[in-house]
Structures are given as C-alpha cells and as structure tokens.
Amino acid sequence: MKVTVIIISSLSILFLFAAIHYGFGVHAGKIRASDHMTVALIATGISIITHGFVIAFFPEKKRTENDKK
C-alpha cells in the first residue's frame, strides 16, 4: 500500500519537473509559449488529481493508545 503512494507521488513530481523543463524551453525560445502553458496546466492538473487520490484512498492511520507507548 505504501509502495502505491510512493509511485503516485513520484509520478506527480515527475509531471511537475516536466512543466518546469518546458518553462525553461520557452525562455530559450525552443518551444512556443502556448505549448508550454498547455503542458503546465495538464501537469498541474495531474499533480493535483494524484495527490487528491492519495489523500482519499490512503488516509493516515489513526494512532491508538497502544501505538503511543
């Protein structure tokens, strides 16, 4: 279960780095700005959705009295 959370989180971070990479490409003049905005919006959307998925399906386990000892 923890492996799934790690995989999903790393994928969302990967999409974030992809958006940053495209941003640097725009500043270098290699990529049109409209393409960058599309990729950035898609990457941000996927990142938000995957984090929402992790929070919804893998909530933190509540600590009981036995765990605190």
pLDDT tens-place string over residues 17-58 = 776 776 666 666 666 666 667 777 777 777 777 777 777 777
pTM given for the model:
0.42
The total of other beta-carbon atoms located within 10 Å of residue 69's CB is 5
Confidence of residue 64 (pLDDT cuts 50, 70, 90): low
Residues 6+ apart with CB under 8 A from 45: none
What does the pLDDT read at residue 4?
Answer: 73
Q: Which residue has the higher pLDDT, 67 or 43?
A: 43
What does the pLDDT read at residue 17?
Answer: 76
